[in-house]
Amino acid sequence: MTAPLICPSILASDFSRLGEEVRAITEAGADFVHIDVMDGHFVPNITIGPDVVKALRPHTNLPFDCHLMISPVDSFLEAFRNAGADLISVHPEAGPHLHRTLKYIRQLGAKAGVVLNPATPVEILDWVMEDVDLVLIMSVNPGFGGQSFIESQLRKIETVRARLDATGSAAILQVDGGVNAQNAASCVAAGATALVAGTAVFKGGRDAYADNIKTLKGL
């Protein structure tokens, strides 16, 4: 079984030392830097904006994986791309025209992702599959870190994996929410190729980051 990409969510990091934290996870073996962007409207929390992303960009060469939990989302895409986002993921519910949004992300030069909340049906992918570089399965309801993994989402991972394989899509299948050492292997067995983890990476302080990432990779 191929080891998954590990995408530490800086939502769980020390916000007073974000640059140092990004450098630390880079040195610890992270594959992406996952940036959760929340607006207090689409989800009940507020996190960071393009200026913070831009400030973090010089601290690592890792891809910036920006998960936009904002609505309406289209008017912010260019700002996050200009700030250094390499991959931009959006929710179907965050704008009226998902196909147009994904096309625009790619026109900006970034990779495009679709995020499925726990109750969002997988069928929405059927009409945009050719325009998707990543599918993110939310295994919690978005808005806060530290939530518990929703077990039913393992079936959704399996379902999306089958759809990707059937269409020959090379899209990354990512899982986010309550991912830890106890359920990481189940996510990968279900078909995930990338895992977003906050607490599971950042727990124990910087000396533990490398071991935490290796554990999630199953190494």
- Positions at the binding site: 9, 34, 36, 67, 143-146, 176-178, 198-199
SS (H, E, C) 152-194: CHHHHHHHHHHHHHHHCCCCEEEEECCCCCCCHHHHHHHCCCE
Q: d(Cα 206, Cα 165) in Å, to the nearest integer?
A: 37
- Residues labelled as active-site residues: 36, 176
Binding-site entries for a divalent metal cation: 34, 36, 67, 176
Residues contacting residue 72 through CB under 8 Å, at least 6 positions apart? 94, 95
Q: Which residues pair with 35 in a beta bridge?
A: 66
From edge to edge, which strands make up the β-sheet containing 134-138?
Answer: 5-8, 194-197, 172-176, 134-138, 111-116, 87-90, 64-69, 33-38
